[in-house]
């Protein structure tokens, strides 16, 4: 998911996607702790996606506060 797709999400969809990605990250970490994940870079990609989603969410909060 790139930044343009993130910007197109509504606030409700953005919140849902953040929660979904956080759950996915937890599952990836647990699976990696039990047995090595095929592609460990997926953990880093997931963390970066969550950060981008949170950044967009915070940007919207600041715009609404003005």
pLDDT tens-digit series, residues 10-38 = 999 999 999 999 999 999 999 999 998 88
Q: How many domains does the chain have?
A: 1
Question: Which carries the bigger pLDDT value, residue 39 or residue 53?
Answer: 53
Q: What are phi and psi of 43, to 5 degrees?
A: -65, -45
The pLDDT, as a whole number, for residue 7 is 94
pLDDT confidence band for 52 (50 / 70 / 90): very high
**Class of residue 53 by CB neighbours under 10 A (exposed 0-12, middle 13-18, buried 19+):** buried
CATH number of the domain where residue 42 is located: 1.10.287
pLDDT value of position 38: 86
Mean pLDDT, rounded, of the chain: 94
Domain extent for 40: 3-65
Is the whole-model pTM more than 0.75? Answer: yes
DSSP character at residue 43: H
């Amino acid at each position: 998911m790139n930044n343009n797709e993130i910007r197109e999400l509504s606030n409700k969809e953005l919140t849902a996607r953040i929660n979904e990605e956080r759950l996915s990250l937890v599952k990836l970490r647990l699976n990696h702790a039990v047995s090595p994940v095929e592609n460990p870079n997926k953990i880093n990609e997931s963390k970066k996606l969550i950060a981008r989603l949170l950044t967009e969410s915070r940007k919207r909060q600041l715009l609404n506060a003005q």
